[in-house]
Structures are given as C-alpha cells and as structure tokens.
Amino acid sequence: MTDVAIVDYGMGNLRSVEQALRHVAPDLEIVVTDNARVIEHASRVVFPGQGAMPDCMRELDARGLRGAVMQAAKAKPFLGICIGLQMLFEHSAEGDVAGLGVLKGEVVRFAPNMLDARGGKLKVPHMGWNQVRRVSRFASPRGDGAIAPSPSGGGLGWGNAPEHPLWAGIEDNARFYYVHSYYVKPQDAALIQATSDYPDPFVCAVAQENLFAVQFHPEKSQAAGLKLLQNFVHWNP
Amino acid sequence: MLAKRIIPCLDVTHGRVVKGVSFVELRDAGDPVEIARRYDEQGADELTFLDITASSDDRGIIFRIIEQVASQVFIPLTVGGGVREVGDVRNLLNAGADKVSINTQAVLNPQLVADAASRYGSQCIVVAIDAKQVAADRWEVFTHGGRRATGLDAVEWAKKMQSLGAGEILLTSMDRDGQKSGFDLLLTRRVTDALEIPVIASGGVGNLQHLADGVTQGGADAVLAASIFHFGEYTVQQAKQFMASQGIEVRL
C-alpha cells in the first residue's frame, strides 16, 4: 500500500513536493499519481497545485480524480498546498469557478495598489518569505474551537487548547515561502490555523479533523517547511 | 511582513560557476552544487542558475546540476539560459527548477512567455531583461548575452512581459554588471514603479550598502548578486544582517 500519494492532475511541477517528502521520509513509499485507485488506497494524501484555479479544476475532472480527492479529504491525513488549499473551498474569484466545496468559503484576490506601512508598493503575486502567525485558540466550553482573546489580554480563561500537531517543533512567526495572488476566506473562523500579513492579515493555514491545508509552500521553505512535512507524514488524527 | 529577498546568482558554464565583468572575462568560482549548498546554509532566500553557454551540447550538464541541487536544497530555484520553447520550460521544471527565466527568446518570440505562463502558471515564469542606458532616462533592451540591441525600451518591455503573464522580472543593468559600483537605481525604480509584479535588481553589487540601496532607493522586491558572495567577500547572512540594520525586513 502506498504511504503517501501526491495527487497529479497535470498542473505544474510536483517534483519539489516529491523530493521534499522523500527527504523527510526516506523509508516511506511516496508516489506521484493520477490514478484514483492509488489515491483511494493510500494511507495519506498530498494535494498540491500550481497555475490557475479554473485549469486545475478542469484537469482534476478530466482525470476523474474529484471523487477520490473529496473522499480522501474527509477520511485520511490530507495536506493541501497552495491551489490545493484553494480548491477545497466553494468558489474562487479566479475565473469565477466553483471549487470542491469540502470547506465553506471563498477564494479572493489581493486588492490592487496595496501599500506597506512605509508607503512602499506591495506587488501581486505575493512572492517570497512571510511570517506565519499561529492563531492562539483556547478551548471553548462549547467545544466549538472559538478564538478567544489571549490570557495576557484579559482572556476568558478557557485554558490553552493543544496546538495542532503539524506545528510541532516550528516556531510561531517562522517564515515560509509564498507565491500566490489569491487567498482563502473560510466561513468558519474555527478552521483558521494561521495568518500572514500582506498588508492585512489573510488566512494561510486551515485545519479540520484529518485535513490540514496551507497557502505557502512547505516544500520550498527550508527547515520550517521540511519540519511541517515531517510532522504530516507522522500525523495520526 | 514579507521579507525582501537576497538571491545569489550562479553563472554556470561547462559545469562550473564562473563570473565575468560586463558579460566577458570569465573567472572560475567553483562547483555549483557545493556553492548552492553553502548559500542555502547561509540563509539565501532563493538561488538563480544562469546557463551562460547554453549550447545544445552542454544542455545535459545544467539538468544534472539542477537535479542534484533540488534533492538537497529546499528553497526556490530559478534556472535561465537557452530557453527557446515551452518544452525547455517543461524540462527544467521536471529537473527540479521552480521558476524558469526567459531572456532572448522572449524578444524573438513574446508568445513563448504567454504560452509558458498559461501552461505552467505565471508563478514560474521570470522574464530576464538586460538593459543598457542609451539616453537620460531611457534604457534599451539587449539580447544574446548583451551583444544585440533590440530598439526596445526597457520599461515598456517590462510592462508588456507583465501583460503576457510573466510572474517576475529579473532586471540587469549591463552598464553596471561586474563593475561593483552599485545597481542602476534609477532604472530599477522606473521599472518597479511601472509594474505590479515583483522586480529583482541585478548587476553591479560591490558591497552590502549596494544591496540595501536596491531595496530602499530602487524599490526592488529582491536583490541578486554573484561575485561578492562567490569570492568570499561577504556571506549571505552578513548581507541580511546589514540590510536588517538599515531597517529592511529580511529573513534572518
């Protein structure tokens, strides 16, 4: 049985993701595949993506992989990367196209003519290394994963919820490599794992049960990225 | 906050890293895989490899180098030199490049930029522009390693490349390349102000202040340098610490 299946729907280059996973898990069987049966039988699934979302959705369907990806996203350790995060949502402004709808919410573009705090021009795509700030989430008595003010800010005293295992060994505010022009807006704030600023905070990581998905590229984010991938291959939600 | 990037550039010919002055007089700087690993350890934000011979006989060498680097170094890798068709882009990406830089062929066949961007995404298509000042406030695009004038205005050309789908511009001042007198800051400023996509400043870095000036005065999103790193004058880490001391956001 395949340990890790990297979903290949013909868009972009999956070599980097494959190389980085092999580097952190030399003993696992890692395959790049466009075969729905291989995805269905894999222990865990990585769903990467590059390029434009309408092309990605079309190519995913052309290969008959929609069902296998949706099933994996609900059933086993699943890591979405970049467009692989965006495709999980209901709708994208890029080409006005429907996504898989595994998660509620939409994908929107960065605004034009954005400026940084010093009046410098912020380019789109957002390209390079940005800090990933984890959402401090405190266990709510309602069990809904609501975001509470931090204790130092006069918090509600729910007690610290354990941090998501995929962040283990990675410093808060560590820098990861990004290249994208669109970002996700989840309907449910409880999904949000982390944000980055450009210049306003945008969601760069979400999690739900067996699923974790990020806007940045862990496979190109040196030590911090390799650590996240290593955490993923050992994650047992 | 997004960090400004420092990108060491490795000019590769016959399997070795070399560095010239104004595109000629090459000097050997070492083994590309070893150098790439060293820069990664020093905290380089990306690496750029330019295959400066790019004759068909040598084509296999750059693929093997990229394959070796990509299996050990997990930061973005850009490869340029001799990219003539969409198949070349595909082959470089398959070898392990994250971005492919197109220069001469973008001028000869602008449609290549559009085709490559639509097939593989703008995020992996860099257009390299070699520009030479021809009048006050006017720079002309040159091709074929700086040997052939095109009559194209560099700022207008950069805008056209953006509209065809380039994800980033690598802007080299031919007047400054290898001179160690600093970037052409006015050229950099003109191009970055005209574009929505990131601009990498290149050509002329001789000290760390030059790198900082490229960002603060030129408005560059990233700065590229070769010889100051290759010959051990400065480490990438020293460059970053200097830039941070000037108030520039960097990844330390």
Q: How many CB atoms lie within 10 A of CB A124?
A: 19
- Residue B59: what pLDDT? 77
- Residue A211: what pLDDT? 98
- Residue A146: what pLDDT? 53
Q: Which helix (H) or strand (E) holds A231?
A: helix A222-233
Instruction: State pLDDT tens for residues A44-61.
Output: 999 998 888 999 999 999
Six token digits for residue A14: 């999956």
Task: For residue A114, give its domain range.
Answer: 4-233
Chain B residues whose CB is inside 8 A of the A225 CB are 74
* Alpha carbon distance B4, B225 (integer Å): 14
Q: Is A49 on the interface with B (CB under 8 A)?
A: no
CATH number for the domain spanning A58: value is 3.40.50.880
CB pairs under 8 A between A and B: 102
Chain A residues whose CB is inside 8 A of the B122 CB are 125
Cβ-nearest to B45 among A122, A129, A179 = A129
- Pair type for strands A211-214 and B138-143: unpaired
* Alpha carbon distance A105, A101 (integer Å): 8
Instruction: State pLDDT tens for residues B59-112.
Output: 788 999 999 999 999 999 999 998 999 999 999 998 999 999 999 999 999 999
Q: A15 and B93: CB-CB below 8 Å? A: yes
A-chain residue closest to B71, CA distance: A19
- Active-site positions of A? 82, 217, 219
- Residue A158: what pLDDT? 47
Q: How many CB atoms lie within 10 A of CB B57?
A: 8
Q: How many CB atoms lie within 10 A of CB B175?
A: 16
* Alpha carbon distance A78, B83 (integer Å): 36
Q: What is the ipTM of this complex?
A: 0.95
Q: Is A123 on the interface with B (CB under 8 A)?
A: yes
Cβ-nearest to B196 among A19, A124, A221 = A124
CB A45 within 8 A of CB A74: no
Annotated active-site residue B51? The verdict is: no
pLDDT score of A167 more than 50 = yes
* Alpha carbon distance B205, B228 (integer Å): 7
Annotated active-site residue B11? The verdict is: yes
* Alpha carbon distance B46, B9 (integer Å): 9
Cβ-nearest to B70 among A12, A19, A222 = A19
CB A171 within 8 A of CB A100: no
Indicate the DSSP class of residue A154.
Answer: T
Q: Is A73 exposed, middle or buried (0-12, 13-18, 19+ CB in 10 A)?
A: buried
Count of structural domains, chain A: 1
Which of B133, B195, B135 is CA-nearest to residue B168?
B195
Six token digits for residue B93: 């990406």
- Residue A149: what pLDDT? 46
- Residue B193: what pLDDT? 96
Instruction: State pLDDT tens for residues A99-156.
Output: 999 999 999 999 999 998 888 899 999 999 999 999 976 655 554 555 544 444 333 4
Q: Which of B11, B88, B177, B221 is catalytic?
A: B11
- Residue B224: what pLDDT? 97
Instruction: State pLDDT tens for residues B188-243.
Output: 999 999 999 999 999 999 999 999 999 999 999 999 998 899 888 999 999 999 99
pLDDT band at B119 (very low <50, low <70, confident <90, very high): confident
CB A189 within 8 A of CB B67: no
Q: B76 and A122: CB-CB below 8 Å? A: no
pLDDT score of A159 more than 80 = no
Q: What is the DSSP string of chain B?
A: -PPPEEEEEEEEETTEEEEEETTEEEEEEE-HHHHHHHHHHTT-S-EEEEESS--GGGHHHHHHHHHHHHTT--S-EEEESS--SHHHHHHHHHHT-SEEEE-HHHHH-THHHHHHHHHH-GGGEEEEEEEEEEETTEEEEEETTTTEEEEEEHHHHHHHHHHHT-SEEEEEETTTTTT-S---HHHHHHHHHH-SS-EEEES---SHHHHHHHHHTT--SEEEESHHHHTTS--HHHHHHHHHHTT-----
Beta bridge partners of B48: B9, B78
Six token digits for residue B233: 């004058």
Which of A121, A158, A120 is CA-nearest to residue A141?
A158
Q: Is A130 on the interface with B (CB under 8 A)?
A: yes
- Residue B223: what pLDDT? 98
Cβ-nearest to A19 among B71, B122, B222 = B71
* Alpha carbon distance B242, A110 (integer Å): 31
